[in-house]
Structure 1
């Protein structure tokens, strides 16, 4: 091979902005393989047209894209790379918006206190018979799951036809955010003395919930969208702790009014946490 047409690794490092150590790592991982390796010295040489590829690798890594993903993207061609970059940018913008909202929420709590933003009260929740569909999801999978679950349940309710006994709600058995997944149950209350559902699809069942005391706060509009809604959960949890109650079951997100768009100003949600008197030690 004519080495005059190739760049030795030192020059290639300068041209690409990648260190020699990084170039050796990308060679070993198959991301950026030299055009020629001297069999005696082991010295690496690169084609001049590989400089642009190396610059792309550098940019992709600065975007915190893993090495294996970088290799896949570069092998997929320019159109696939452009699509992936747009998706990456959209995800980064969502993360930034989430972080911005969380920071503003923390600052608000520090300066005003949670009780200034969310008014928490206690009320009695009736015993309810509900249709239930559950799944273990994180925040990214929450909306698709809920849309699918309620579509299935309303179809079953229409065949009954069931008489709705209250607003639909969701039960969260743990933390559901971008970093954690938990069991989430979509619930649809119906009148237990009326028609009963039959021929339930797999994964759907009927359950009876007992009467309970609920610590509640209501939110609306943009405050009902993630991540701002987390402040409502925190406010209710703080109220329960400060008033000496015990947490008595999964927290509920109740749809008082829902347009289908998370930040619609017409949305009205209620965060309701079952509580009980603390057990004696």
Structure 2
């Protein structure tokens, strides 16, 4: 093969600002494929016009864009192996989306840092008064799904819309405000079972036809450790400090955790940080069983 217009990997690494190790990794990942690999030595060679693609990969990686995303962009816009007319619009749209996601992450990180600083300076539970209350037995209409924080609002919006439609056909008599049960941590990195719940009177009308994924469940009476949060404190991730405060109170007072934590919509405007929002965070608890019993 004529190697006149090819750059050996060492020269290409110098020109692109990528290390030889990185170029080998991007080759194995399908992000930046050499134009020629010597069958005897295994030495890689790149075309000169692949230099722009390599520089683009370097810049995108500095933005912490995942390799899979870069591979998809270069595959759609050409990776240097087959030039395209104008990859700029596709790449510009991807960069704008990436910037928006980075800004959202920064907002979350900023809120988390402020929350941690408040805990360190004022104490973890200073802003959350935890009390015990007795909860009556409940019959609830339930729809559950495995979601993380990104999928939480879309799931809850659809679930409650469908459940209110079923309740209206009953017609069911509501026995209290809607609430959500979380069977684990639901944040940007963790997916957990989330249940949208709508309590209705057991002695009244019952739903005749349930929607897809819905069920009727009886929740027994229980003691709850709870706190109330309002306004901006109801937004994610600030709301996590309320869950932590209740969990810490339960542990420190010797109770056992008796089920998934719930968030009850005492007052909800639809905007997460609205000053009129009011939520109750309640964790079912019970007296721990002694070792001798």
The answer, yes or no, to whether TM exceeds 0.5 is yes
- Aligned pair count reads 281
Partner of 2:105: 95
Partner of 1:48: 48
Structure 2 gaps of 5+ residues are 78-86
Distance 1:23 1:13 in 2: 7
Deviations 1:203-224 (A, max 9, x none): 1111122222211111112211
TM-score (norm. length: structure 1): 0.91
From 169, 173, 177, give the equivalent of 2:187.
177
Residues 117-266 of structure 1 mapped to structure 2, 5 A cutoff: 117-266=127-276
Residues 68-83 of structure 1 mapped to structure 2, 5 A cutoff: 68-77=68-77, 78=87, 79-83=89-93
Partner of 2:9: 9
2:163–2:211 CA contact under 8 A, matched in 1: no
Cα distance change of structure 1 residues 43 and 175 upon mapping to structure 2, 3 Å threshold? closer
Cα distance change of structure 1 residues 11 and 134 upon mapping to structure 2, 3 Å threshold? same
TM-score (norm. length: structure 2): 0.88
Q: Is 126-135 or 77-86 further displaced after alignment?
A: 77-86
Distance 1:244 1:40 in 2: 70
Q: Confirm or deny that 1:105 pairs with 2:118.
A: no
Distance 1:103 1:228 in 2: 10
Structure 1 residue 190 displacement after superposition? 1.0
Q: Is 149-158 or 42-51 further displaced after alignment?
A: 42-51
Cα distance change of structure 1 residues 126 and 18 upon mapping to structure 2, 3 Å threshold? same
Q: Residue 46 of structure 1: SS of its match in structure 2?
A: strand
Structure 1 residue 28 displacement after superposition? 3.8
Structure 1 residue 131 displacement after superposition? 0.6
Cα distance change of structure 1 residues 65 and 198 upon mapping to structure 2, 3 Å threshold? same
Structure 1 residue 255 displacement after superposition? 0.3
For the aligned residue pairs, the C-alpha RMSD in angstroms reads 2.0
Structure 1 gaps of 5+ residues are none
Distance 1:39 1:238 in 2: 63
Distance 1:115 1:42 in 2: 61
Structure 1 residue 61 displacement after superposition? 2.2
Q: Residue 65 of structure 2: SS of its match in structure 1?
A: coil
